[in-house]
Amino acid sequence: MSLTFEHTTLGQRVLFGSGKAAEHLAAEVARLGATNIMVIASDFELKMARSVAAGIDVALWHTDVVMHVPIETAQAARTAAGDAGIDLVVCVGGGSTTGLAKAVALTTGIPVVAVPTTYAGSEATNVWGLTEAARKTTGVDDRVLPTAVIYDAELTLSLPVDMSVASGLNGMAHCIDSLWGPRADPINAALAAEGIRALAQGLPKIKNDPSGLPGREQALYGAYLSAVAFASAGSGMHHKICHVLGGTFNLPHAQTHATVLPYVLAFNATEAPDAEARIAAAFGADTATDGLARLRETLDAPKALKDYGFTAANIAEAVAVALPSIPANNPRKVTAANLTALLTAALNGENPKSLSDLS
């Protein structure tokens, strides 16, 4: 059978090297000719950000970072950038920090250099997200794609093991969702499979040796691949659900993705045999669900949404908000009834395999 597909590869410079973040950032600032730089970093990561930015002149430090990027937080950062005449935004941190930098870029067009400290992957996509009145809105705009990404595994050494696990599984969710996203294609699939393999190798190494670099380098590499695949394939069922859980109920981003992932995989796997086989092979397992379950057991991954504040009383609203946004090309038809069953299972940490028999 001949191949017929359309694929877009986003243009972005990637610099990868442990212990090289400050050197690489100074080089990027020089290359871009930026003279008025804003650095976004949370209070928690400000000390690290100052170290990364030691070789550049910073005009404005901005530390008002909030999970899920509330619109008020975004507008404050945009105003600060405009008032200071900023010509480059540097973000040092996880997905919330990167998301705020993207929010600035979305309306101002100011370029972004991202220095990620987690495995979220947002730094390699042109997807933005903002929360307003308990609803998270996402969109795609090339203005928010960081012009360069600087990966330095040393910056992730302070990320605790449990957060490393949750963040890494968030990256894996990008990979798996890419295999049935609305623009899924063979190139995305190849990138996603390699991302799964790298994350599956790297995350157990982080758990066994949190201060070692090999596992963290593999996880960063896998997270980048996951994001590139996701940016091209688009947001699938998993991400549509998790955006609602985060934006509407303020659940923690990485832990929510890590918890929901096995349920969406089990729900879709039987109706997506090619994707299932590719995922299983990337895990080196007989089935995709077994491979993910084995990894999650090794990592002691997040298990139930109830552990993060989600309740049975929230399910009906979550279904009502999420259901219309799930892509029509999802391998399995999604209904209010089976989505309710999926969220109920995820709420209580039930065996995901029960979802394969739902009608």
What are 24-79's pLDDT values in tens digits? 999 999 999 999 999 999 999 999 999 999 999 999 999 999 988 999 999 999 99
Asked whether the beta carbons of 176 and 272 are under 8 A apart, the reply is no
Burial of 85 (0-12, 13-18, 19+ CB in 10 A): exposed
Average pLDDT over the chain reads 95
Is the C-alpha dihedral spanning 59, 65, 69, 70 positive or negative? Answer: negative
Total-model pTM: 0.92
Q: How far apart are CA 321 and CA 245, in angstroms?
A: 10
Which token pair is 281?
């092979």
Q: Where in the chain is the domain with CATH 1.20.1090.10?
A: 161-357
**Mean pLDDT, range 213-237, rounded to an integer:** 95
Candidate CATH numbers 3.30.420.140, 1.20.1090.10, 3.40.50.1820, 3.40.190.10; the one for domain 161-357: 1.20.1090.10
pLDDT at 356: 74
| Architecture category of domain 13-156 in CATH | 3-Layer(aba) Sandwich (3.40)
Between the CA of residue 2 and those of 184, 190, 311, what are the distances in Å?
Answer: 16, 17, 48
Asked whether the beta carbons of 99 and 137 are under 8 A apart, the reply is no
DSSP state of 45: G
Q: Report percent pLDDT > 90 for the chain.
A: 93
At which residue do the structure tokens 């404005």 appear? 60
138-194 per-position pLDDT tens digit? 899 999 999 999 999 999 999 999 999 999 999 999 999 999 999 999 999 999 999
Q: How confident is the model at residue 1 (pLDDT cuts 50, 70, 90)?
A: very low
Q: Where in the chain is the domain with CATH 3.40.50.1970?
A: 13-156
pLDDT at 128: 94
Asked whether the beta carbons of 12 and 145 are under 8 A apart, the reply is yes
At which residue do the structure tokens 């859980």 appear? 245
Alpha helix locations (H) across the chain?
21-32, 46-52, 71-83, 95-108, 161-178, 186-208, 213-233, 237-249, 253-269, 273-283, 288-299, 315-322, 336-348
Q: How confident is the model at residue 359 (pLDDT cuts 50, 70, 90)?
A: low
